[in-house]
Amino acid sequence: MTSEEIRPATAADVPAVKAVTDAAYTHYTERIGLVPRPMEADHAANVAAGRVFVTGDPAGGDEAGGEVAGLVVVEAFGDHLYLDSIAVRPDAQGRGVGRRLLHFVDAHARALGLPEIRLHTHALMWENRRIYPRFGYELVEQRADGPYDRLHYRKRLD
């Protein structure tokens, strides 16, 4: 995999998908007092369903460039693309991996003919309150979902 390539994950990527997701989300466990849902996902099922897309590390060279540095988990619905999770390995953060993945999500939604992307994040994942608006997402509402205090965002593509 080249560092710029974003491709559908395969069964061989499942261990890396789990490792990257866990590495990206584990530090939130103490802050929110719960294991973030992406860490509990059935990664094999998501990969098999074609919901996971992966990319390499842009600064990793040949060897590291073949490793999964980031990923998105998406699901198409009739009127929107749901961005279930985005994860970037901590050692690859700050290199544009997340930006490339978010642009990919936009392009993927457009290719599917969907006018909107939706996502939610935990209210205590305060970093996301700065990131998502910079990429055109607007906060729609905040509401509890069981033990999770969620911020719901959307991005209209029209």
For the chain, the domains span 6-121
Does the pLDDT at position 114 exceed 50?
yes
Phi, psi (deg, nearest 5) at residue 14: -55, -45
With beta carbons less than 8 A apart as the criterion, state whether 3 and 58 touch.
yes
Section 39-57 average pLDDT: 96
| Per-residue model confidence as pLDDT tens digits over 50-107 | 999 999 976 664 334 469 999 999 999 999 999 999 999 999 999 999 999 999 999 9
Section 33-51 average pLDDT: 96
pLDDT for the residue numbered 63: 37
- For the entire predicted model, the pTM comes to 0.92
User: At a CB cut-off of 8 Å and minimum separation 6, what does 94 contact?
Assistant: none
Instruction: Look up residue 8 and give its two tokens.
Output: 């559908």
With beta carbons less than 8 A apart as the criterion, state whether 151 and 120 touch.
yes
Q: Which helix (H) or strand (E) holds 129?
A: helix 127-134
Percent of the chain's residues with pLDDT above 70 = 92
Q: Which helix (H) or strand (E) holds 104?
A: helix 97-111
Beta strand 116-122 with 81-88 is parallel
User: At a CB cut-off of 8 Å and minimum separation 6, what does 70 contact?
Assistant: 20, 54, 55, 86, 87, 88, 89, 92, 97, 98, 100, 101
| Per-residue model confidence as pLDDT tens digits over 1-14 | 444 699 999 999 99
Q: Which helix (H) or strand (E) holds 140?
A: strand 138-145
> What does the DSSP 8-state code read for residue 13?
G
Residue 113 burial class via C-beta count within 10 angstroms: exposed 0-12, middle 13-18, buried 19 and up = exposed
138 versus 59: which is more confidently predicted? 138
CATH class of 6-121: alpha beta
